[in-house]
């Protein structure tokens, strides 16, 4: 059980993304930290981040954290988006006193798991082409064949799935065609976008039965767990009061209202507030 120095303060974690991808991180970390208060910000006005410039993403994410900090004392911020993480994480960590955790492609883990020496990295175009991703490959997987596949279509499909739509496997096979046509396709595939983790079942159905899919969500959850444990000495369930989990978004739309209902029904969130950025 985790302990916190201030028995009267329930810790607060902000998870942010342009859409629902960060929910895959939320699900993983909530299993380890069920008594923490969670704020989830989906920046629907700027969805998806992968289609914006690095300058825009850095300023946007900085502005979101600052806006939420005006209303809440944050104990931890998780950038629940691979694209935003590879672009802005180091800058954010230098800018804010609050601990900032990002999500990076699990290339190091893939290099330990591959058996045929072929690793696939499935992410947005910005993530697969970013210097940070290429540096991870050079550092941890330079002895292996690494196949990069960039797609933004899977981001939209993950959003559709959360809204209850069935995802045709044929669409996924079309996206994965470059790998499916290989004589020796990747046996270990890195899901380098948090949205893609929400499509894991469908991706497994579309890929070879010999392919193993990995992502960073459990590593992020465990690292976040360790960060909060630095302030230990009173039980996580011994607070003066519990505050409900809350959703924020940047634009009021019909789709956002529907998502609010889904997050309330299935993800333990209780209110939605529009926060203009």
User: Which residues does the annotation mark as catalytic?
Assistant: 81, 193
Q: 108: helix, coil or strand?
A: helix
Where are the alpha helices (H) located in 103-253, listed in sequence order? 107-113, 125-129, 131-140, 153-162, 169-175, 177-180, 194-197, 200-206, 217-229
- Quote the tokens at residue 122: 């499935």
Q: Which residues are annotated as a binding site for substrate?
A: 17-18, 49-50, 82-83, 194-195
Identify whether the C-beta of residue 75 lies closer than 8 Å to the C-beta of residue 12. yes
Identify whether the C-beta of residue 15 lies closer than 8 Å to the C-beta of residue 36. no
- Quote the tokens at residue 185: 């396709």
Q: How far apart are CA 45 and CA 38, in angstroms?
A: 21
Single out the residue of 212, 208, 150, 200 nearest to residue 184, CA to CA: 208
Burial letters 43-57, b for 16+ CB under 10 A, else e: bbbbbbbbebeeeeb
Q: How far apart are CA 49 and CA 59, in angstroms?
A: 12
Single out the residue of 260, 232, 266, 230 nearest to residue 246, CA to CA: 260
Phi, psi torsion values for 171, nearest 5 degrees: -65, -40
């Amino acid at each position: 059980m985790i302990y916190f120095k201030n028995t009267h303060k329930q810790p607060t974690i902000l998870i942010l993304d342009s859409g629902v991808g960060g929910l895959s991180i939320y699900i993983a970390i909530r299993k380890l930290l069920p008594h923490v208060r969670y704020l989830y910000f989906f920046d629907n006005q700027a969805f998806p981040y992968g289609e914006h410039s690095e300058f825009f993403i850095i300023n946007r994410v900085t502005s979101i954290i600052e806006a939420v900090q005006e209303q809440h004392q944050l104990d931890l911020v998780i950038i629940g988006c691979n694209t935003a993480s590879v672009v802005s994480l180091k800058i954010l960590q230098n800018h804010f006193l609050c601990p900032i955790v990002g999500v990076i492609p699990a290339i190091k883990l893939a290099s330990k798991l591959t058996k045929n020496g072929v690793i696939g990295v499935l992410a947005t175009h910005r993530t697969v082409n970013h210097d940070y991703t290429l540096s991870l490959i050079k550092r941890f997987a330079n002895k292996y064949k690494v196949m990069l596949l960039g797609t933004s279509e899977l981001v939209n499909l993950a959003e559709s799935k959360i809204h209850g739509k069935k995802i045709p496997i044929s669409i996924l096979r079309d996206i994965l065609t470059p790998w499916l046509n290989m004589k020796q396709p990747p046996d270990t595939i890195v899901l380098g976008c948090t949205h893609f983790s929400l499509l894991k079942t469908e991706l497994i159905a579309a890929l070879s039965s010999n392919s193993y899919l990995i992502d960073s969500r459990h590593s992020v959850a465990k690292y976040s767990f360790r960060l909060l444990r630095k302030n230990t000495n009173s039980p996580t369930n011994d607070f003066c009061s519990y505050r409900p989990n809350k959703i924020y978004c940047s634009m009021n739309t019909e789709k956002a209202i529907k998502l609010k209902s889904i997050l309330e029904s299935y993800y333990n969130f209780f209110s939605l507030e529009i926060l203009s950025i």
